[in-house]
Structure 1
């Protein structure tokens, strides 16, 4: 900004009278569309380019184009990760030199001096993210310009307009999340399923549900409820799987061995895995209730979902489909799972206690030396290493079963 209080004589011939950026002006476009389904990238991105281009110098053209098709709620490190093939299939007439991550990584290297966007929420809806992007580009000597901001005036006025716009973008994001969450909660309360049906179920359209309406993004998907899978063996397999954890205190590897040994009785596509077994044991939908919000999918880490605490889960007021296990049985299984995960010693000992309990016996600690512990099982005493190896625990369980 030139000052109104200049020198008393003409000093414009001095070399440092005006600081000149020796870099040639090189502007890049940055844009974003929420999703390929809810907005049309082939029309939205070119429209954004047209609006942002109004802030180019006369005769100037964009040197590069950076744009993404994804949610503006994602942090910078999770942006621009879509495969090249996806973007090519969209047939957007605007060239694409990368996404937001590529812009941040290459701006200085490519000699970019200005980044132009239609408005701030095309960078991100979260204010912290847009501020982070601006800060990183500023460190590289890049000026960020939004086409909807006024020209001229004071820097404080321009900044006030920008920050108000970023606040509005974040408030819009929060309001949309609140409305979306409210709709998903009512969906679960009504007994309708979210996501892929668990192993013993299939999802079918609920003929008694309100008919889907056509909204902004087309016709809504029909509401579906869970019903037992046509293969009745799946219900029996799931009951046995849960029983093995609840009553036998078995770990996933032991349960997998039992299920895999009898594929006719316990059918599965592919093979039984640790994630499948633990996922079924921990799935509350097996109780006949519909449950939502078990996971937080937006964690800032691509492909990673964080488990929410049970206090945040949304349950239907009552059972809405046929149950595999009761609520009490499901809770017992979760308690056993927690004990098995608590430590290497607790798991084998719990299994021994379960086996003894089936014979009406109790397991009592007598004394311990640190490396070994003596237990009384019924009228007998045994000395076991600390911690108890799985193989030793299995041998004791087999001896108890043979004695029966």
Structure 2
């Protein structure tokens, strides 16, 4: 030790730093997916690596780990049921996930959080910095096993921040490559997601074989073909005609289609969301279209419409069209005009428009003579059957804050 005192001062009461609370280290880890990685081997390996930074004779007081994408913020972690974690057969106790660690660090008396490296917290630098900041409020030190021991604090911090930058750059590069692949998937004519009402999806036997050694699960490419019940094409053609040529609202279109179930069949019943979703779906034109919605909005179970200029279209028609592209465009113009009039008039229509802008749906769950229970996004709301303008404005203002 350098710069020691010139005489022996070890007998003074405050010669050595005294810990006011005992060390209580915990482990934090993460595996991206249960399919492309093996949590039963990865997590114990992470524990073994992180344990090298324990003091002699110490052990972890708790284990916090997730099987989640490192791109998710803490509040969207650990939403899977406990049954899912049980089936993974990870030979490691689980006391919660990352958000549980942040919430329980102070009451548990945690002093140190040990991880293999920073991207085990998150690949987004802001998230890992936020977690470190929140834990730091309680005097909790975050330790990454891949960081050097000793040296200066500035040197340690430089290594940590470089590592976090690398993790975020990796995350961004993966997102760019994933988005590029998804766009090429659509441009090639292959379908994303659930097929629209007048179609079914089938495996494209002519699609190129996946590259050997490809990372991840190789899913067969699927294309849209007409539903075996040809009446579905007729139903959607009529739906779009009623919107395009007669300017009918969804309630009126529902009345027309529901009045002739043999001609316009539907599972369960026609709904506002189904009518509006079909009227707005560009896949009815025979083109494949990707990136219409942004699913990563920071709110579980919600999505928002992306601007049309951000959509990725197949250059040509790749499956049998229900309507022409020009007819689809005209329907969108009529829909926009109806929403504009609704925003100026009916309070419920204005609420629907405000909710739609944020990717929320408005569904009536139950009603009485005086009130109706609505589900707006994930929130239940009881409103009078005749909604006053001032109350509609308050609901719209709440939606603005929620967005």
Which residue is equivalent to 2:330?
A: 332
5+ unaligned residues in a row in structure 2: which ranges? Answer: 347-403
Q: 3-state SS of the aligned residue for 2:155?
A: helix
Q: How does 1:270-285 map to 2 (within 5 A)?
A: 270-285=268-283
For the residue of structure 2 that corresponds to 1:57, the secondary structure is coil
Residue aligning to 1:245: 243
> Which whole-Å CA distance do the structure 1 matches of 2:8 and 2:216 have between them?
67
Distance 2:224 2:16 in 1: 73
User: Does 1:146 find its partner at 2:144?
Assistant: yes
Indicate how the Cα distance of structure 1 residues 85 and 219 shifts in structure 2: closer, same or farther if over 3 A, else same.
closer
CA distance in 1, matches of 2:252, 2:3: 84
**Aligned residue pair count:** 346
Match of 2:39 in 1: 41
Q: Which residue of 2 aligns with 1:51?
A: 49
| TM-score (ref. length: structure 1) | 0.82
The one of 333, 339, 351 equivalent to 1:341 is 339
Query: 1:298-309, aligned counterparts within 5 Å?
Result: 298-309=296-307
Give the counterpart of 2:135 among 128, 131, 137: 137
3-state DSSP of counterpart to 1:108: helix
Q: Secondary structure at the match of 1:227?
A: strand
Does the CA contact (< 8 Å) of 2:36 and 2:217 recur in 1? no
Distance in 1, Cα, partners of 2:345 & 2:233: 27
SS in 2 for 1:271: coil
Helix, strand or coil for the counterpart of 1:343?
A: helix
> CA separation in 1, counterparts of 2:107 and 2:122?
23
What secondary structure, in the 3-state scheme, does the structure 1 residue paired with 2:29 have?
strand
**Aligned CA distance change for structure 1 residues 226 and 27 (closer, same or farther; 3 Å):** same
Which whole-Å deviations, capped at 9, do the CAs of 1:55-100 have from their partners, x for residues lacking one?
Answer: 1111111110101111000112212222111111111111100000
Query: What value does the CA root-mean-square deviation take over the aligned residues?
Result: 1.8
Q: What is the alpha-carbon distance in structure 2 between the residues aligned to residue 144 and residue 219 of structure 1?
A: 34
- Answer with 1 or 2: which has the greater Rg: 1
Which of 63, 67, 70 aligns to 2:68? It is: 70
Determine helix, strand or coil for the equivalent of 1:247.
helix
CA contact (8 A) 1:117 1:145 kept: yes
Contact 2:26 2:110 in 1 (8 A): yes
**CA 338–152 in structure 1, closer or farther in 2 if over 3 Å, else same:** same
Which of these residues, 78, 86, 91, is aligned with residue 93 of structure 1?
91
The Cα of 1:344 is off from its aligned counterpart by 2.9
State the alpha-carbon separation in 1 of the partners of residues 287 and 210 from structure 2.
Answer: 23
SS in 1 for 2:80: coil
Moved more, 60-69 or 266-275: 266-275
Structure 1: gaps spanning 5 or more residues: 349-404
The TM-score normalised by the length of structure 2 is 0.82
Which residue pairs with 1:375 in the alignment?
none
Matched residues in 2 for 1:148 and 1:119: separation? 6
1:294 equivalent in structure 2:
292
Deviation at 1:20, TM superposition (A): 2.5
Following TM superposition, by how much is the alpha carbon of 1:342 offset from its aligned partner in structure 2, in angstroms?
1.4
| Alpha-carbon shift at residue 211 of structure 1 (Å) | 2.0
Distance 1:301 1:12 in 2: 57
User: Per the alignment, do residues 200 and 340 of structure 1 end up closer, same or farther by CA in structure 2, a change over 3 Å counting?
Assistant: same
What residue number does 2:321 align with?
323
User: Could you say if the C-alpha distance between residues 43 and 164 of structure 1 is closer, same or farther in structure 2, counting changes exceeding 3 Å?
Assistant: same
**Structure 2 SS opposite 1:344:** helix
